Structure 1
Amino acid sequence: MIDVKETSLKSMLDRAINEAKNNQSSPLLSMTKKIHDINPLRFFEAAEQLAMNRSFWSATAETFYIVGAGSACDLADGAKTIEQMEENWQNLLAEAIIHNPYKTSGTGLLTLGGMSFDRAEHKSERWKNFSHLSFIIPEFILTKNDDSCYLTINIRVREDDHPGQLAERMKRMERTLLDSSVSLPRALSIKSTEDVAPSEWKQTVKCAADYIKQHHADKIVLARELQVKLSDEAHITPILRGLIETQTNSYVFAFERGEDCFLGASPERLVKQDKDKVLSTCLAGTAPRGKTQKEDARIANSLLHDEKNRSEHDFVVKMIRQSMDHYCFNVDVPEKPVIYPLKNLQHLYTPVTATLRKWHSIFDIIGKLHPTPALGGVPREKSLAFIRNHERLDRGWYGAPVGWLDSNFNGEFAVGIRSGLVQGDQVSLFAGCGIVRDSDPEEEYDETNIKFMPMLSVLGG
């Protein structure tokens, strides 16, 4: 990593082009500056005017946003495993020319993306635009952290580039992206919904429970799909706005690939890195919210003492701790879970904190954690085998890690649940639940209906 002090885009481009000529390479130039406050959703909407694929990340509880526009490169290009992608990241960092005097989390050279839930599965036509691994370094990144806003420009520079022309092109695009007068489109309405094979899904739940009773597995997570037809082609910005306004304590995300967009509001953090400190959270065990404060407290107390939900939760806690032990020390796990409230649901919640060992990274932990028992099952390989053989759904990026990391050893990944795939005027929504030996198909079906609510509500349902 070459850390430079120049502040002029043209002077940095001059340096990068000279480096490209001298080394016969194509270095990535990354420049971060502080800018006036701007609505992240207007930046996101303006990027569509430039026909740029977009990425969006928001931690709603922290007033933290990252919005990406365009693509300077895809880290996962040529990589088939997380390990190969991390090697690409480290090589890129070693050669990049970076100007970032702020060192604020989410600034500097940064990548956003995700992966398939099961990379061993053959990808269906529906997910054709989403590679099994895809992490984009956007051309433009807006980072909003509390009251401060930053703009990062990333450019892949070649030896025959003209610095003046390239600088002018980037400035024109910047003016468009930072135009505060960009209007936000209105939300659409739902025309119809179709539950995909509900009877077959309930039968699969029964089959999974029988499989568990025969001691082949302890838990299997099954997902299903709800297809939504909208009144017109979807606008992504108002969907994100609705999720931000309604889904507090969640990670609101969107990743465009071609004409398609995978988006959602996940309450489940997979792992967060702050230098050498890491945090993972167990969010397993679900109940609805009450209509009154008294009813809400009663449901929460029942969830805390429910044997099925506590057992499901403990599976996840144990697995996360074992995974952290591989790459961390000072692993700390509270003895009992607490309630994590959302607008429509409440969950059992246990945080796991640790210190990352030297020479290990957030990618190591992601590879070890995914899929957690909350999304796959226990034991992992047997539950995944059952899902591959019995689940009708191609999960794609649903239930898989999505998130970001930067060149200052910060990053955060969530599990892509409470989510959907937008394709024109069609949206495929996904929801799942953990099946154990005494699971009732009708109750599990009702639980997935509750989990569809966050997305349905912002689509106009």
Structure 2
Amino acid sequence: MKLVVSTVELADAPQNLLAQLPENPLTFIRENGGIIGFGQSARLVAAAGKNRFEDLSQQWKTLVAEATITDPMQIPGTGLVAFGSFAFADNSETPSVLIVPRMVLGLRDGRGWLTSIAVAGEADGNSSTADSDDELTWPTPTSYLPNEPIAFVSGAVSAEKFKSSVAQAVERITAHKLEKVVLARDLVAKLPSAFDIRPALVRLAESYPTCWVYSVDGTFGASPELLVRVSHGQVSARVLAGTAGRGTDPGVDQAIAAALASSEKNKNEHAFAVNSLVASLSPFCERVDADAKPFSLALPNLWHLASDVHGVLRAEASVLDLAAALHPTAAVAGTPTDTAREVIDELEGTDRGRYAGPVGWIGADGDGEWAIALRGAQISGRQIRAFAGCGIVAASDPAAELAETELKFRPIREALA
């Protein structure tokens, strides 16, 4: 397949990407900057297995090598891009995908652009359709109506099963079989026949502007955690581990943040995640620098301990190569990783699908941005399934961890209320 790609800068581009969302959009937005995709020019799929990253990376490189790309802007998100979503587990029945849209709208630092991506010979019967800048104009937004409220019920992992799993995990940690494991539970609901994902995405973006709002192939949400970004040889990532609910009174809220920052349980959980990420990035980078100590990150409903990590690429590597090396991080799996994955399979006993897997985009040059698919849900036909998880360490209490999952379900519940 040969793609013909053309990007043009739009001088009078609207500054609100949310207002431009089409039906079933491909989306990766943060603080109103980012990209949204319309339609589908190509769909690359990898079956289950540990080689799914390598498989899609190779398919992407082949597609890029055969494409004709006109991109005078040369900034992140212009030119040929694909939106992607990966399954969490090697043995998941959910496929991993890269989707190339027919059109991309982008906005970054006030600059707007439109990219047309056509299959040679299939665009109105003319392979040169995408070469004409005159045809590239900002589309008129389509209207949509609110959805009926969606009521979730327990899924495969009930509240009681979750608490039992946490207790079993603590026993194993105390017995020194592992240091940390991230356990999750799920909620399910039936979607109305006329469900439109756009109101949910708008609510998420407006309520959580500092999160990465994503929507790819039925997987959507607002993630506070950037798995990895690669831009012109620079690598960056953000680690979140350690959580507390927000207080309604400002004084109480600050006290909660201070208590979180001084909590040995949460600091230990966070250290596992940071050390794991630095170790995974080091083979690819000349150097890797992490924050000396975590900072308290405020979201509307939660405090998180957060650390930013930066590196400089040592050799040529794409953002997918780094995502493959980083996934799953200790923040979504545990420490040691292989043992934690086995415990997750045993205690959860269900397929996470793309929950806690990488979600984001990659460009023709291998740069891109990938978040971790958290604070969201997955749509399959008429069913929707949401997940929330917690890092379990020796000091974890089952009831407290269950309460934390309720806090983490709040974004998706409110977006669909």
Work out which of the residue numbers 362, 373, 381 in structure 1 matches 2:330: 373
Q: Which residue of 2 aligns with 1:142?
A: 105
Describe how 1:434-453 pairs up with structure 2 within 5 A. Answer: 434-453=391-410
Query: Where does residue 345 of structure 2 map in the other structure?
Result: 388
What SS does the corresponding residue of 2:303 show, helix, strand or coil? Answer: strand
The counterpart of 1:206, out of the listed 136, 144, 167, is: 167
**Cα distance change, pair 317–71 in 1 and its aligned pair in 2 (3 A):** same
Displacement of 1:77 in angstroms is 5.7
Give the superposition deviation at 1:78.
Answer: 7.6
1:301-325 deviation digits (Å, cap 9, x = unpaired): 0000101100000001111111111
Aligned pair in 2 of structure 1 residues 202, 77: CA closer, same or farther (>3 Å)?
A: closer
Q: Secondary structure at the match of 2:369?
A: strand
Q: 1:173 to 1:99 in 2, by over 3 A?
A: closer
CA RMSD of aligned residues (A): 2.5
Q: Which residue of 1 aligns with 2:42?
A: 73
SS at match of 1:335: coil
TM-score, normalization: structure 2?
0.92
Instruction: From the superposition, tell whether residues 171 and 78 of structure 1 become closer, same or farther in structure 2 (CA, over 3 Å).
Output: farther
Q: Is the 8 A contact 2:8 2:136 kept in 1?
A: no
Q: Is the 2:46–2:52 Cα contact (8 Å) retained in structure 1?
A: no
Q: Distance in 2 between matches of 1:31 and 1:64?
A: 20
**Cα distance in 2 for residues equivalent to 1:78 and 1:154:** 25
Mean Cα deviation higher: 148-157 or 76-85 = 76-85
1:100 is matched with 71
Are residues 135 and 248 of structure 1, via their aligned partners in 2, closer, same or farther at CA, if it must alter by over 3 Å? same
Q: Which residues of structure 2 form unaligned runs of 5+?
A: none
1:161 and 1:252 mapped to 2: Cα distance?
33
* Higher Cα radius of gyration: 1
Q: 178, 196, 209: which one pairs with 1:235? A: 196
Counterpart of 1:70 in structure 2: which amino acid? G
Answer whether contact 1:221 1:433 (CA < 8 A) is retained: yes
CA-to-partner distance for each residue in 1:230-286, whole Å, 9 max, x for gaps? Answer: 666421010011001101210001113xxxx21100000001111100001111100
Q: Does 1:34 align with 2:19?
A: no
Change (3 A) 1:78 1:308: closer
Contact 2:235 2:313 in 1 (8 A): yes
Go from structure 1 to structure 2 and tell me whether the alpha carbon gap of 1:389 and 1:146 turns closer, same or farther (over 3 Å shift): same
Q: CA deviation at 1:150?
A: 1.2
Task: Determine helix, strand or coil for the equivalent of 1:116.
Answer: coil
Q: Identify which of 314, 317, 341 aligns with 1:360.
A: 317
Aligned-pair identity in percent equals 33
CA contact (8 A) 1:225 1:393 kept: no
Going from structure 1 to structure 2, the CA distance change for 1:37 and 1:198 (only over 3 Å counts) comes to same
Find 1:345's aligned residue among 282, 286, 302: 302
- Alignment of 1:194 with 2:157, yes or no, is no
CA distance in 2, matches of 1:119, 1:310: 29
Tell me, yes or no, if the aligned pair for 2:181 and 2:334 is still in contact at 8 Å.
Answer: yes
Post-superposition Cα deviations, 1:205-238, rounded to whole Å, max 9, x if no partner, equal: 1111111111111111101012235666421010
**Counterpart residue identity of residue 8, structure 2:** K
**Match in the other structure for 2:178:** 217
Matched letter for residue 183 of structure 1: S
The answer to whether the aligner puts 1:279 opposite 2:241 as a matched pair is: no
Q: Please identify, of 68-77 and 271-280, the stretch whose mean Cα deviation from structure 2 is larger.
A: 68-77
- Aligned partner of residue 360 in structure 1, secondary structure: coil
Q: Which residue of 2 aligns with 1:44?
A: 21
Equivalent-residue separation in structure 2 for 1:325 and 1:146 (angstroms): 30
Looking at structure 2, the residues matched to 27 and 232 of structure 1 have their Cα atoms a distance apart, in angstroms, of: 36
Alpha-carbon spacing, 1:243–1:78, altered in 2? closer, same or farther (3 Å):
closer
1:154 paired residue among 99, 117, 122: 117
Using a 3 Å threshold, how does the CA distance of structure 1 residues 252 and 27 change in structure 2: closer, same or farther? Answer: same
Q: Following the alignment from structure 1 to structure 2, what is the Cα–Cα distance between the partners of residues 276 and 414?
A: 18
Corresponding residue SS for 1:163:
coil
Q: C-alpha separation between the residues in 2 aligned to 1:373 and 1:411? A: 22
Quote the offset at 1:173 in angstroms. Answer: 10
User: Unaligned stretches of 5+ in structure 1?
Assistant: 1-25
Q: Deviations over 1:357-386 (max 9, x none)?
A: 122222221111111111001101111011
The SS at the match of 1:350 is strand
| 3-state DSSP of counterpart to 2:152 | strand
- Could you tell me the TM-score, scaled by structure 1's length? 0.83
Counterpart amino acid of residue 167 in structure 1: T
Query: Is the Cα–Cα contact under 8 Å of residues 262 and 422 in structure 1 kept in the other structure?
Result: yes
Q: Whole-Å Cα distance in 2 between the matches of residues 352 and 86 of structure 1?
A: 24
| Aligned 1:254-333 pairs, distance under 5 A | 254-256=215-217, 261-333=218-290
| 1:167 to 2:136 alignment | no
Cα distance in 2, alignment partners of residues 56 and 159 from structure 1: 25
User: Per the alignment, in what secondary structure is the counterpart of residue 291 of structure 1?
Assistant: coil
- SS of the aligned residue for 1:304 comes to helix
State the 1:163 CA deviation: 1.8
Q: Which moved more, 1:354-363 or 1:342-351?
A: 354-363
In structure 2, the residue corresponding to 1:446 is in which secondary structure?
helix
Is the alpha carbon distance of 1:345 and 1:91 closer, same or farther for their aligned partners in structure 2, counting shifts above 3 Å? Answer: same
Higher helix share: 1
Confirm or deny that 1:429 pairs with 2:398.
no
Deviation, structure 1 residue 81: 2.6
